[in-house]
Amino acid sequence: MLEIKNVSKHYGDRRVLDDVSFSVGGGRLTGFVGGNGAGKTTTMRIILGVLGADSGDVLLSGSPLDRDGRRRFGYMPEERGLYPKMKVHEQLVYLARLRGMRSGVAADKADELIERLELTERRDDPIEKLSLGNQQRAQIAAALVHDPEVLVLDEPFSGLDPMAVETVLGVLSERAARGVPVLFSSHQLDVVERLCDDIVVIADGRIRAAGSRDALRESNAGSQWELQVADDAAWVRELPAVTVREFDGGYVLFDADEAAAQTVLQHAAKRGAVQRFAPRRPTLTEIFREVVK
Amino acid sequence: MTTTAHTALSTRQAIGLVAGREISSRVRSKSFLISTAILVIFVAAAIIISNLVSSSGATDTTVASVGEAGASLDGAPGIELTMVDTVDEAEQLVLDGDVTAAVVPIDDAAPGTPAVEVIALDDTPVSLVQALSIAPEVRLLQEAPVDSGLAFLISFAFGIVFFTAAITFGSTIAQSVVEEKQTRIVEILLTAVPARALLAGKVVGNSALALGQILLIAVTAALSLMLTGQDVLLSDLGPAAIWFVVFFAVGFVLLAAMFAASASLVSRMEDTGTVLQPVMWLVMLPYFLIIFFNDNDLVVGVMSYVPFSSPVGMPTRIFLEQTQWWEPLLSLVVLGASAVVIVAIGARIYENSLLRMGGRVKLSEALKS
């Protein structure tokens, strides 16, 4: 498990991170969301040690990280960059060897990833000749080639087409399944919502919410309910202690406490077939809007 | 976890990997190969052609001789004799340009001078006049000093080789530093290896390339001199050339650190020109000094001890045989010590500037810890 504990950072008088704490569990995809300038990139750079924190610690499996520990990290920086004139395979091998991998193993790993990320035809092309999407794949390969024990990826999905998102997601899920903690930032909230097990929300340098996606949605669920019946559901309006928010034929969204909601369900069951009845969970976008207020 | 595939990377291995990449990416670039080939051809051509030109200047002087007038010239070196019968005939040959000069007998010669007259078109044929003169014996009390023209050429050669190699490979290292900053790959690299190992790898790699090119030039020059039969010059030049290579090796490390540190202050290729200017001046200085002051013993003497110019100054003095045996060693120690200090300062600047993107990093900030 990767732990970030009470990390603060100032640039001059400007406080960019304020007592940031959260953890990234082994085997879980953790989404790191926040607006521009919220502190995502700064946090990631501190985790990787390319930037020093004013205070606080980064721990892996309970012990503070040093350079050797961080060498086992896979990192994809916010600003993309590989050597423009170096060939894809050669570049991956070089980066893997810099992290202490033996050259034979590095060559095999590089080939494996190139195939997995569908770059086989581009294996011996210089990076600068690749399309932006393929450069992005190569960048992801560069973060993964040395079989990292922790993955920290800044916006790994930006610039990828939907097919590529699936491919990359597949690769990341595999790594997570092997027990690797995976932290990635994104401002595509729908992607994070769909992909992540855990979510960390940051705004103005402070952690506003952190936890598993489901728990987060649950705890922010409020008191909205959804009902879908076969017939017209206009009758819901007539019931006491119920406020209808949306109404469309057999579908109704309403505010009610638990007891009033159960009354609605009983009425519905008497009237005919109930196709769906559930508390409405907010989308990540809604939660995000709520917690960063 | 698949830890078996990893080994802890020692600093030396990291430096080796970085240096290896610097060298291989450079050696594979067409521009590098072409420029090296041009340099080698240029050096060989300069030596061979200058040799051909200087020896072709020494063609025989054709001389027409009337009767016994030119008899003493028969078999003299550099003179080709044609026998004619009359003075008029000889004059005609000179007018037609068939011979350079003619030697004819005269009756009213001043006492003590030969009873001949030399006829030429519009220019006194010096070599012929010398051949006809009676030269006294000459005894030199001291060995002749090295020809000043040759001394200039040699010092100029050291100057220009140092200058071009330092600029070429210094710019290469600067570009390589900025490329890593501009593409931001430096962020990935720094999670793998320490900044100092990265810098050391660059300095080692580019110094090896620079030294390799210098050696190639030295070998080309030596072969060309041997080919044109100038072995004497080669044996005079040998020790100076070897010292030049040694001084260059140490001096370039110093310059490379300065190039890298300066370049690390900026994040874009376009900005490198301005930050490199001070280093460029330091590289150009010895080149200009040696051109303008190559016959000033004091200036060259000082140059031979100042770290930035000693790779040019000291070999020049060695060639001129002005040095005591300990002088190059002392100067080398001075150069080596300066290199250690400059590399340490350069590494600090490099380390502190590498992750500062955007505008130019102030030198004072880069030196702070």
pLDDT digits (tens, 9 = 90+) for B320-348: 888 888 999 999 999 999 999 999 999 99
A79/B2 CB distance under 8 A: no
Q: For chain A, say whether B7 makes contact (Cβ under 8 Å).
A: yes
Residue B145: pLDDT band by 50, 70, 90 thresholds? low
CB contact under 8 A, B191 and A70: yes
Residues of B in contact with A102 (CB under 8 A): 5, 7
In A222-261, which positions are buried (b, 16+ CB within 10 angstroms) versus exposed (e)?
A: eebbbbbbeeebeebeeeeebeeeeeeebebbbbbeeebb
Confidence of residue B351 (pLDDT cuts 50, 70, 90): confident
> Residues B320-331, buried b or exposed e (16+ Cβ, 10 A)?
beebeeebbeeb
Residue B131 lies in a domain: no
Q: What is the pLDDT of residues B279-293, one digit of tens each?
A: 999 888 888 888 888
| Assigned token pair, B213 | 């090119």
Domain assignment of residue B55, yes or no:
no
Mutate to test the interface with B, among A68, A71, A99, A174 (most CBs of B within 10 A): A99
Q: Does B32 touch chain A (CB under 8 A)?
A: no
Residue B134 falls within a domain, yes or no? Answer: no
B43 with B188, same domain? yes
Query: Considering CB atoms only, which of A51, A95, A105 is closest to B5?
Result: A105
Asked if B5 and A85 come within 8 Å (Cβ–Cβ), the reply is no
| Residue A149: pLDDT band with limits 50, 70, 90 | very high
Residue with tokens 């110093």: B254
Which of B17, B187, B193 is opposite residue A50, by nearest beta carbon? B187
Q: Per-residue confidence at B108, pLDDT binned at 50, 70, 90?
A: confident
Inter-chain CB proximity A99 and B14 less than 8 Å? no
Cross-strand bridge partners of residue A33: A201
**Which residue is closest to B182 within chain A, CA to CA?**
A81
Kindly report the backbone phi and psi dihedral angles of residue B77, in degrees, each rounded to the nearest multiple of 5, phi listed first. -70, 135
pLDDT at A107 over 90: yes
- Which candidate from A81, A100, A179 shows the least CB-CB separation from B185? A81
B140 Cβ under 8 Å from any chain A Cβ: no
**Tokens standing for B234?**
């080669």
User: Which residues on chain B are in Cβ contact (under 8 Å) with A179?
Assistant: 1
| Burial class, B272, CB count within 10 angstroms (exposed 0-12 / middle 13-18 / buried 19+) | buried
- Please say if the pLDDT value at position B96 is more than 50: yes
Helix, strand or coil for residue A196?
Answer: coil
- The C-alpha atoms of residue B267 and residue B183 are separated, in whole angstroms, by 9
Q: What pLDDT does B61 receive? A: 76
Backbone angles phi, psi at A30, to 5 degrees: -115, 125
Distance of residue B347 Cα from the nearest chain A Cα, in angstroms:
17
* Cross-chain CB nearest to A82 (options B18, B183, B192): B183
Residue ranges making up the domain that contains B352: 14-48+146-367
Q: Does residue B216 share a domain with residue B94? A: no
Asked if A29 and A173 sit in the same domain, the reply is: yes
pLDDT of residue B290: 83
Task: Compare CB distances from A75 to B7, B21, B191 and report the shortest one's residue.
Answer: B191
Residues A61 and A11 in one domain: yes
Q: What is the arithmetic mean of pLDDT over B264-270?
A: 90
The single residue listed with the structure tokens 């450069």 is A135
Q: Which of B78-87, B110-119, B252-261, B270-279 has the lowest mean pLDDT?
A: B110-119
Three-class DSSP category at A148: coil
CA distance B154 to B158: 6
Nearest to B300 by CA among B147, B292, B332, B214: B292
CA angle B252, B255, B260 (to 5 degrees): 120
Q: Among residues A170, A193, A218, which one ends one of the domains?
A: A218
Subunit contact A86:B17, Cβ cutoff 8 A:
no
* pLDDT at residue B55 tops 70: no
pLDDT tens-digit readout, B172-205: 999 999 999 888 899 899 888 888 899 999 999 9
What CATH number has the domain bearing residue A231? Answer: 3.30.70
Nearest residue of A to residue B4 by CA position? A101
Mark whether B114 and B155 lie in a shared domain.
no
Mean pLDDT of A64-90: 88
- For residue range A174-207, what is the model confidence (pLDDT) as tens digits? 999 999 999 999 877 888 888 888 999 999 999 9
Given a contact cutoff of 8 angstroms between Cβ atoms, the answer to whether A96 and A146 are in contact is yes
Give the residue from A199, A218, A237 where a domain finishes.
Answer: A218
Q: CB distance A79–B9 less than 8 Å?
A: no
Q: Is A86 on the interface with B (CB under 8 A)?
A: yes
* pLDDT tens digits for range A244-283: 888 888 898 888 888 888 888 888 888 888 899 988 888 8
Total count of domains within chain B? 2
Question: What pLDDT is recorded for position B4?
Answer: 46
Q: Which of A147, A100, A45 is nearest to B6 (CA)?
A: A100
What does the mean pLDDT of chain A come to? 89
What is residue A79's predicted lDDT score, i.e. its pLDDT?
A: 80
- Contact list, A101 vs chain B (CB under 8 Å): 5-7
How far apart CA B367 and CA B369 sit, in angstroms, is: 6
Residue B256: per-residue pLDDT:
93
Give the CATH number, domain containing residue A122: 3.40.50.300
**CATH code assigned at B76:** 3.40.190.10
Please check whether residue B335 lies inside any domain of the structure.
yes
Same-domain check for residues A173 and A34? yes
SS3 B159: helix
Report whether pLDDT(B111) > 80.
no
Cβ separation of A98 and B9 shorter than 8 Å? yes
Is residue B296 domain-shared with residue B163, that is, in the same domain? Answer: yes
Q: Percent of chain B scored above 70 by pLDDT? A: 92
Q: What is the pLDDT of residue B178?
A: 93
A140 and A19 share a domain?
yes
Residues A63, A152: one domain? yes
Does A174 lie in the same domain as A271? no
Rounded average pLDDT over B71-88: 78
Is A54 or B62 the better-scoring residue by pLDDT?
A54
Examine residue B177 and state whether it is found in any structural domain, yes or no.
yes
Six-digit token pair at B131?
A: 């051949």
Distance from chain centroid for Cα B180: 33
Same domain for A83 and A227, yes or no, is: no
CB contact under 8 A, A50 and B355: yes
> Whole domain around residue A252: which residue ranges?
220-291
φ, ψ at B110 (rounded to 5°)? -65, 150
Per-residue pLDDT tens digits for A116-133: 999 999 999 999 999 988
A208 and A225 part of one domain: no
Q: Does B2 touch chain A (CB under 8 A)?
A: yes
Q: Domain tally for chain A?
A: 2
User: Is residue B9 domain-resident?
Assistant: no
Residue B56 lies in a domain: no
Within this chain, do residues A145 and A273 fall inside the same structural domain, yes or no?
no
Closest CA to A93 of A63, A113, A121, A77: A113
| A232 plus A113 within the same structural domain | no
Residue B175 — φ and ψ, nearest 5°?
A: -60, -40
E strand segments, A54-167: 55-60, 63-64, 73-76, 150-154
- State percent of chain B over pLDDT 90: 28
Q: Establish if B369 touches chain A: CB-CB under 8 angstroms.
A: no
Would B337 be classed as within a structural domain? Answer: yes
pLDDT at position B20: 94
What's the rounded mean pLDDT across residues A61-69? 85
Q: How confident is the model at residue A152 (pLDDT cuts 50, 70, 90)?
A: very high
Strands, E assignment, chain A: 2-11, 14-24, 29-33, 55-60, 63-64, 73-76, 150-154, 182-185, 198-203, 206-212, 224-229, 243-248, 251-255, 274-279
Instruction: Tell whether A161 and A21 lie within a shared domain.
Output: yes
| C-alpha distance from A47 to closest chain B C-alpha (Å) | 10
Q: Are residues A196 and A232 in the same domain?
A: no
Confidence of residue B1 (pLDDT cuts 50, 70, 90): very low
pTM of the model: 0.78
Does the pLDDT value for residue B106 go beyond 50? Answer: yes
Q: Tell me: pLDDT of B141 over 90.
A: no
B362 in the same domain as B258: yes
Res B56 pLDDT > 60:
no
Predicted confidence at residue B323, as pLDDT, reads: 86
The two structure tokens encoding residue B58: 């020494």
The yes-or-no verdict on residue A30 having pLDDT over 90 is: yes
